[in-house]
Structure 1
Amino acid sequence: MQNGLFDVEFRMDELSKNGDPLEKFNKYVPWEEFRSKLEVIRKKRNGNVGGRPPFDVVLMMKILVLQSIYNLSDDSTEYLIRDRLSFMRFLGLSLGDRVPDAKTIWLFREQMGNAGLVREMFDWFDGYWRKNGFMAKQGQIVDASIVSVPKQRNSRKENEAIKKDEPPVENWSDAKKRQKDTDARWVKKNGKNFYGYKNHIQVDVKHKFVRDYEVTDASVHDSNVFEAILDENNTSKDVYADSAYRSQEKEENLKKQGYRAHLQRKGYRNKALTEWEKRGNRTRSKVRSRIEHIFGIQSQRAGNLILRTIGMARAKVKIGLRNLGFNLERFCTLMVVSA
């Protein structure tokens, strides 16, 4: 059957009628506002150097946002940009336009990471939310989520050396070094072993934006990053967290800083929680559960949340983009509701 002249336009109209979630990103996110920040990663091109011009930096940034929201590999990202009309429309590409390949996407993400732009963009957007009426209000919630990476097949001696931050790299080939993540660590949670990193986030209660985050290896205890990501500019001094953050020392430190601690209590083998303590946990959980929604949304949208990167530096970039992607989507949702 012969294609009609306006077939693509008709298909786009149908996508819009069915609620294309990417349309609100172009409507509400000020992409051009940070072009100047992104341009710094472009090296000055010599006029005598041939070859195709580089892809637009805003286009590449939008591609990384797509990739982080849907947890796509570089190859899958390239394929889906070519395959999905909604992706092409979001990126402003037509069927005849060039599409960045997987290597170009990887390189741009590396350049952003090396320039520290992922964190800078995250902080810039947080300031943008605040200027547009979304101040951090009603307190803050802190929690951490394990982000797995492919398990390493090391010998016992190799694992012992890695734990001491002394990986036996002199005995590894160059190819093996590229495939070994010596920054990730094991952790046991709820009886299961996990290997990877942790995404520690702090969320404001009112608007549910990720206001700050920190990335560590998975073995770092949640409470070790607690105070470092608290927001002193939140309009409320209430702080919510689960029982992993509760200790007499933490509560005293929070009190000294002027915060009001709402930390879950935990029962022990010879000391069960009283009914009063259980009621207190249920009351706090109604607020604290808002942060669980964020991890749930990321898992539901992205499916298997395994990082396909090697090393802490790249993990920070990918996890930072994931947190930024959530905030962008949250901002658009709030703008739609308030419109």
Structure 2
Amino acid sequence: MMQTGFFDWHERFEKLDRNGDPLLKLNQVVDWEMFRQPLEKIRHKERKSNAGARPYDVIRMFKILIIQSLYNLSDDRIEFQILDRISFMRFLGLGLGDRVPDAKTIWLFREQITEAGLIKPLFEKFDVCLRENGFLAQKGQIIDASIVAAPRQRNSREENERIKRGDIPEEWKEAKRRQKDTDARWTKKNGQNYYGYKNHISVDVKHKLIRDYEVTDAAVHDSQVFDQIIDESNSSRDVYADSAYRSEESVKRLKEEGFREHLQRKGCRHRKLTKREQRGNHTRAKTRSRVEHVFGVQAMMAGEMILRTIGIVRARAKIGLRNLAYNINRYSILGATG
């Protein structure tokens, strides 16, 4: 049996580089150490003894969560992929003889940063990095939302009605309660029913970077989080959104706050859109369609996101990590071409 030597690995890495390993670009462009200080907060608890294995480095664990989000992998699959793929090993700075975190350790780390409420601050910290490196929010912003599916619950109609009222059935045993997502909700879009959550995002027109986001259950109307995610720091006051966000109240509010609204208009049976309104929709759609690139890239890299977690707190963590991973990956592309 032939042994693999240093030059064999070197040759393999060179081939990866020639074929454009995207993870190499991430390491070249991103200063991962910027995340260390906030992440170290979860390690502040003093160890009771020096016995046992030392905890994994927080930056390495965080980078695992980023590639897990980029490729939409379960905890078990990301463990396997780290063991199997040399590109993942190189990205994480792991050698063949190094310990690899198992699925339970990865799950626990994500739980710890979720409980510490770190994901939104980490997202905001990276946004500061983007701005400091010249990627300011410019040319207006686009507001949109996508549905993120959650595992469908096999509840009776009566149980669903009680859950909507916030009344969890008392007859459910503790084990059953842990498996039931009572925060996710049903919604209908284009004639299809969906169960889960919504990822509401604000994207700047120039760079197509996510500048803010909110996560709600799927039944929350898009317009209800409109104000929360508008980016006041964008160099332009232009705001683009589809017709779901349009109402007399939203148009009035945007005007009062000094924004220029570019919200799509929607006709109905009793009032068809005029030719002028149709042309306006077509013109606005050219800019508004840039937000589809964000959702499209996320789907292209990772496929349709299906949550494997229970409850809105964990859903916010997983979706927030995916938004952050998108921005990090987008930055590596902009940095490489800028």
| Aligned equivalent of 1:178 | 178
How many angstroms apart in 2 are the aligned matches of 1:325 and 1:47? 34
Letter in 2 for 1:158: E
How many angstroms apart in 1 are the aligned matches of 2:239 and 2:123? 22
Residues 142-185 of structure 1: per-residue CA shift (max 9 Å, x gap) = 000000001000011110000111111x2112221111000000
Instruction: Verify: 1:92 aligned to 2:116, yes or no.
Output: no
Letter in 2 for 1:272: K
How many angstroms apart in 1 are the aligned matches of 2:55 and 2:153? 36
Letter in 2 for 1:99: V
How many angstroms apart in 1 are the aligned matches of 2:180 and 2:4? 52
How many angstroms apart in 2 are the aligned matches of 1:126 and 1:259? 22
| Aligned equivalent of 1:148 | 149
* Secondary structure of the corresponding residue to residue 45 of structure 2: coil
| Aligned equivalent of 1:210 | 210
Residues 17-41 of structure 1: per-residue CA shift (max 9 Å, x gap) = 1000000110111101221111110
Residues 251-270 of structure 1: per-residue CA shift (max 9 Å, x gap) = 01100000000001112112
- 1:242 deviation in Å? 0.2
Summarize the Cα distance change of 1:127–1:278 in structure 2 as closer, same or farther, 3 Å threshold.
same
| Aligned equivalent of 2:67 | 66
How many angstroms apart in 1 are the aligned matches of 2:310 and 2:10? 41
Question: Structure 2 unaligned runs (5+)?
Answer: none
How many angstroms apart in 2 are the aligned matches of 1:121 and 1:287? 29
How many angstroms apart in 2 are the aligned matches of 1:163 and 1:47? 44
| Aligned equivalent of 2:286 | 286
- 1:271 deviation in Å? 1.8
Letter in 2 for 1:212: D
* Secondary structure of the corresponding residue to residue 171 of structure 1: coil
How many angstroms apart in 2 are the aligned matches of 1:20 and 1:252? 48
| Aligned equivalent of 2:35 | 34
| Aligned equivalent of 1:8 | 9
* Secondary structure of the corresponding residue to residue 262 of structure 1: strand
- 1:44 deviation in Å? 3.1
How many angstroms apart in 2 are the aligned matches of 1:162 and 1:206? 42
How many angstroms apart in 1 are the aligned matches of 2:27 and 2:133? 17
* Secondary structure of the corresponding residue to residue 41 of structure 1: helix
| Aligned equivalent of 2:250 | 250
| Aligned equivalent of 1:128 | 129
- 1:276 deviation in Å? 1.3
Letter in 2 for 1:150: P
How many angstroms apart in 2 are the aligned matches of 1:46 and 1:198? 39
| Aligned equivalent of 1:220 | 220
Greater alpha carbon shift after TM alignment, 34-43 vs 154-163: 34-43
Question: Structure 1 unaligned runs (5+)?
Answer: none
- 1:233 deviation in Å? 1.1
- 1:279 deviation in Å? 1.0
How many angstroms apart in 2 are the aligned matches of 1:146 and 1:304? 10
| Aligned equivalent of 2:240 | 240
- 1:49 deviation in Å? 4.3
Letter in 2 for 1:64: L
How many angstroms apart in 1 are the aligned matches of 2:61 and 2:258? 43
Residues 35-69 of structure 1: per-residue CA shift (max 9 Å, x gap) = 11111101433363411000000000000000111
1:295-306 equivalences in 2 (<5 Å): 295-306=295-306
Identical pairs, percent: 61
| Aligned equivalent of 1:105 | 106
How many angstroms apart in 2 are the aligned matches of 1:34 and 1:63? 13
Instruction: Verify: 1:231 aligned to 2:231, yes or no.
Output: yes
Greater alpha carbon shift after TM alignment, 270-279 vs 239-248: 270-279
- 1:99 deviation in Å? 0.3
| Aligned equivalent of 2:274 | 274
Instruction: Verify: 1:308 aligned to 2:311, yes or no.
Output: no
Residues 126-145 of structure 1: per-residue CA shift (max 9 Å, x gap) = 11111111111111100000
Paired positions, count: 337
How many angstroms apart in 2 are the aligned matches of 1:94 and 1:34? 23
How many angstroms apart in 2 are the aligned matches of 1:177 and 1:12? 48
How many angstroms apart in 2 are the aligned matches of 1:137 and 1:307? 32
How many angstroms apart in 2 are the aligned matches of 1:82 and 1:48? 30
* Secondary structure of the corresponding residue to residue 321 of structure 1: helix
* Normalised TM-score (structure 2): 0.98
Residues 280-299 of structure 1: per-residue CA shift (max 9 Å, x gap) = 11110111011111111111
Letter in 1 for 2:260: R
